[in-house]
Amino acid sequence: MSKKYVIVGASGQLGRALCVMFPDAKALSREELDISDEAQIDAFDWSKYDVIINAAALVNADGSETDDLRAKTWLANAYGPRNLAKIAIEQNKTLVHYSSDYVWDGREKNHQDDEVVAPLLVYGESKAAGDLVVSLVPKHYIMRVSWVVGDGHNMPKTMKKLADMRINPKVVNDQFGRLTFASEIARATKYFLDNNVAYGLYNVTNEGPVKSWYEIAADVFEYAGHDRNRVQPISTEEYAASKPGFAPRPLNSDMDLSKLRRAGFTPRDYTDMLKALH
C-alpha cells in the first residue's frame, strides 16, 4: 500500500521542490494551514496521511532579531514543529523536518550530524528548538541543510542579475559552505521515505568543494560569461558595518556527509547544478 503524504509550507522554495517530487501529496501553504496555530492543527484531519513533511519556516536571519519578527520566528520555527510533533506522536505518523546550519556557531569545520547546537542568532535558536522537539517523535527525519538554492529569491540568481547589469558586487570571503539545491533536498526526502532509511538526524547538502560566498559569486559571474574578477572580496565584519541590523552568521557551514552516504544516498555536486542555471 502506498504511503499518503501531506506537505505543509508548500509555497516556499523547498515546499515547491517537494511538490514536484511528490505530485500526489496534499500540499498546503501557510494560508491554508498555519502550523504555529495549534487550533488549526488540532482541527485538521490527519488520519488520511502517513507522512507529514514540514517545509514551513520563517527564514529571515536579520529580521528575526527585530521586535517585529522575533516572536513570529519562534512561532513558525519552534511552536509549529511542536504542534506537528504532538500529532505525529499521538497518531503514529512519520514527521520529516528541515533544519539549518544556523543552529551552529560555525567555529567547527565539517560539522558532524550530532554536533551540539550553539546558535548565534534568534533564527538559529528557534530552528534548534524545533529540531529538539521533532527529535522526540519516534518516526522522524531531520535533514540539516545549508545555503539553499531554489525556485525564488536566491544568491546565484542575484549575482547573475548583477553581472548582467554591469554591477560589481562586494561579497563576503570568510563564510564557507556548500550550496544545497532544493531539488536535491526533495530527492533525498523521497529516497529516505522510499527506502525506509533509519530514522534520525542527517546532514543533507550537495556534494562539492567547500567555498566562500565570494568564490561562489565569482563562479556565477564566470559561468554567465562575465569576468570573475569583477566580484570583490570583503570580510563579514566590513560587510556588517555597512548593514545596520546585520545578524551574526556562522563562518563555517560545511557539513560531514558520511552518514548520508552510509544511508545509500549519493548527493550531487552543486558545481554542475550551478553551471546549469546559466
Positions annotated as catalytic residues are 123
**200 pairs with which residues across the strands?**
141
What is the Cα–Cα distance from 105 to 57, expressed in whole angstroms? Answer: 20
Long-range pairs for 106-112: beta carbons < 8 A, 24 or more residues apart: 106/175, 106/249, 106/250, 106/251, 106/252, 106/253, 107/251, 107/252, 108/252, 109/176, 109/210, 109/252, 109/254, 110/254, 110/255, 110/256, 111/203, 111/252, 111/253, 111/254, 111/255, 111/256, 112/203, 112/256
Q: What is the CA radius of gyration of the chain?
A: 19
CA 141 to chain CA mean position, Å: 14
Query: One-letter amino acid identity for 183?
Result: S
All three cell numbers of 146, joined, read 545549508
Length of the chain: 278
> Residue 145's closest CA among 109, 193, 113, 108?
113
What is the Cα–Cα distance from 180 to 220, expressed in whole angstroms? Answer: 15
All three cell numbers of 141, joined, read 527525519
Q: Check if the beta carbon of residue 109 is closer than 8 Å to that of residue 252.
A: yes
